[in-house]
């Protein structure tokens, strides 16, 4: 049993997307910040966000309209106070991004001057989406990354998996820091911190088909749950309606902005079908569009549906969607002439770790921002382009709260040692790979776009069996990236299924054939953990 290497800082940020990097930059003038990422700093969901960020910049638009659209998209269970807070702070946060260097697209106004080009996406009643062509997330990630790397008070540690939050033996609500696995040397280390922020993104890797990068394994949600935090609304997982269907196009999204600019969904013969499902046609919220595509695929036995923008001028299409045009062209699809084959894919977790308006969790000094968090903004369905907005708004809110607490007394309690004296290197990696594939397959089949009570029961039965196998494996072998992610995904899968079982209705992203109607009154699904032991199985 060896005392692990120990680092220390004022604020530990776990995750390096828009949420984590925004927080780090807001804090770094006043304290020492460490940002850790499992892979390269840029390899998170932010980089792949195509559409844009919602904020009221148009004089004909209003914050009240943004709030109303969000509430409607959330199917009646958004927290109105949080929605108003987010919309009210949207423009200031976007101006902060602009000041930091994000180059949003501009256009010439009627007077010959310039203004930001605003597009429209599903669920929005006005054009209010700031964007950088069709690669907004990439522009945001690049700008924030450059600023973080240039800041002397921010230490970036790439290639570190967060394993578990370290809670005090004297006060279970107090976090001392985090155990991390240094991937470069395959060794467990400790980061002691006065404040910890989870900015780990979502958990869509729990599904067989997802638009998310490989790192989206629900780590922050699982760690927070094990440490005693409540989670909420995990049954609401958004399936992006239009992921490019092609054997060589892994995880490539076709942005909703395409539909915002007039693209329509159709069958292989060119006939449209959205009129059968919603009067808003292709601009209906994502859950409706995803279910419509899923329904038509199953009804016809088709591998995919199609998205067609070829009726628009080629110059317009190439100018506004250069990355999609280039990607599709590389696969032999000319989107100025041909329809795009698309399928739904798991895309966004609308639930997560419960937080307040300051992004604070149930632990006294732990915050959660971005997709890992349940703030109440999204309700039963996320409205397009509110996601990056939520990252920045709540990063600013968390920074303000943390800065107000920097003078609080710090615990000097010793960190429990990490004990690997009774474990060995794995000699059966195939066990992890088999369980990994099994989990993602049955979650897709049983807990996907459409659910039933029987499917949920079957999924829970399989989760219980896999949990036993993985826990035994975890207790006997040294940790690895795949083992840590599988352990976390099993926790997340259980939370998704438990929340889905609790909801006796169909609402937003959760559709259960046994409960097809909405209840007259409803609210968030909240799960509270029972902590059996505060001692980690590999600590002493």
Chain position carrying tokens 């100018």: 319
The residues that bridge with 360 in the sheet, in sequence order, are 367
**What's the rounded Cα separation, in Å, for the pair 442 and 465?**
13
Q: How far is CA 33 from CA 2, 12, 23, 404, in A?
A: 26, 6, 9, 16
**What's the rounded Cα separation, in Å, for the pair 219 and 38?**
10
- Are 53 and 129 spatial neighbours (Cβ–Cβ below 8 Å)? yes
Which among 507, 189, 225, 487 is positioned nearest to 368, based on CA atoms? 225
Q: What is the DSSP letter of 257?
A: H
- Are 12 and 177 spatial neighbours (Cβ–Cβ below 8 Å)? yes
- Sheet strands side by side (includes 264-266): 237-244, 340-349, 305-308, 264-266
**What's the rounded Cα separation, in Å, for the pair 393 and 378?**
14
Q: Which two tokens stand for residue 41?
A: 């700093």
Q: What is the DSSP letter of 362?
A: S
Question: Helix crossing, 453-476 with 481-502: angle to 10°?
Answer: 150
Chain position carrying tokens 């207790």: 475
Q: Which two tokens stand for residue 106?
A: 């501009």
Q: What is the DSSP letter of 275?
A: G
- Are 124 and 428 spatial neighbours (Cβ–Cβ below 8 Å)? no
Q: What is the DSSP letter of 417?
A: P
Q: How far is CA 108 from CA 28, 111, 112, 139, in A?
A: 37, 8, 6, 21
Q: What is the DSSP letter of 206?
A: G
Q: Which two tokens stand for residue 343?
A: 């399928």
H or E segment at 441?
helix 429-446
**What's the rounded Cα separation, in Å, for the pair 8 and 411?**
12
Residues contacting 338, CB < 8 A, separation 6+:
310
**Residue in 120, 286, 291, 440 annotated catalytic:** 286
Q: How far is CA 357 from CA 71, 99, 376, 427, 513, in A?
A: 17, 24, 9, 47, 35
**What's the rounded Cα separation, in Å, for the pair 10 and 410?**
10
Annotation marks residue 286 as catalytic: yes
Catalytic residues: 286
């Amino acid at each position: 049993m060896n005392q692990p290497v120990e680092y220390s800082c004022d604020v530990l940020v776990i995750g390096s997307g828009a949420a984590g990097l925004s927080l780090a930059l807001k804090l770094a003038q006043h304290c020492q910040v460490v940002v850790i990422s499992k892979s390269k700093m840029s390899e998170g969901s932010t980089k792949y966000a195509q559409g844009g960020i919602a904020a009221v910049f148009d004089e004909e638009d209003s914050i009240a309209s943004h709030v109303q659209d969000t509430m409607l998209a959330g199917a009646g269970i958004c927290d109105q106070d949080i929605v108003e807070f987010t919309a009210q702070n949207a423009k200031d946060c976007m101006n902060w991004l602009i000041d930091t260097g994000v180059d949003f697209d501009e256009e010439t106004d009627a007077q010959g001057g310039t203004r930001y080009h605003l597009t429209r996406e599903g669920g929005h009643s006005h054009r209010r989406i700031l964007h950088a062509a069709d690669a907004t997330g990439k522009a945001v990630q690049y700008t924030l990354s450059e600023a973080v790397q240039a800041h002397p008070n921010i230490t970036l540690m790439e290639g570190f998996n967060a394993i578990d939050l370290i809670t005090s033996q004297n006060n279970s609500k107090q976090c001392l820091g985090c155990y991390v696995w240094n991937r470069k040397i395959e060794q467990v280390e400790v980061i002691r911190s006065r404040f910890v922020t989870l900015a780990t993104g979502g958990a869509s890797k729990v599904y067989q088909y997802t638009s998310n990068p490989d790192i989206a394994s629900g780590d922050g949600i699982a760690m927070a749950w094990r440490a005693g935090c409540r989670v909420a609304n995990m049954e609401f997982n958004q399936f992006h309606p239009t992921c490019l269907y092609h054997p060589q196009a892994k995880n490539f999204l076709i942005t909703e902005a395409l539909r915002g600019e007039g693209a329509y969904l159709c069958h292989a013969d060119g006939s449209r079908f959205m009129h059968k499902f919603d009067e808003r046609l292709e601009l209906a919220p994502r859950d409706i569009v995803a279910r419509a595509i899923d329904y038509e695929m199953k009804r016809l036995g088709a591998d995919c549906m199609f998205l067609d923008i070829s009726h628009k001028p080629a110059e317009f299409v190439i100018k506004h969607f250069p990355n999609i045009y280039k990607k599709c062209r590389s696969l032999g699809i000319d989107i100025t002439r041909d329809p795009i084959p698309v399928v739904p894919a798991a895309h966004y977790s609308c639930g997560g770790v419960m937080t307040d308006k300051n992004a604070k969790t149930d632990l006294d000094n732990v915050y959660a921002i971005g997709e890992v968090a349940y703030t109440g903004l999204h309700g039963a369905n996320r409205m397009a382009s509110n996601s990056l907005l939520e990252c920045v708004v709540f990063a600013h809110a968390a920074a303000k709260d943390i800065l107000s607490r920097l003078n609080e007394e710090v615990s000097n309690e010793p960190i429990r040692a990490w004990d690997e004296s009774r474990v060995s290197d794995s000699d059966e990696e195939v066990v992890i790979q088999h369980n990994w594939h099994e989990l993602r397959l049955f979650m897709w089949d049983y807990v996907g776009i459409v659910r039933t009570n029987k499917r949920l029961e079957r999924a829970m039965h399989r989760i219980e069996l896999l949990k036993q196998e993985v826990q035994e494996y975890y207790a006997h072998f040294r940790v690895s990236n795949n083992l840590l992610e599988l352990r976390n995904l099993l926790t997340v899968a259980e939370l998704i299924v438990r929340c889905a079982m609790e909801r006796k209705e169909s609402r937003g992203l959760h559709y259960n054939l046994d409960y097809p109607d909405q209840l007259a009154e409803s609210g968030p699904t909240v799960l509270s953990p029972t902590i059996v032991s505060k001692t980690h199985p590999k600590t002493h």
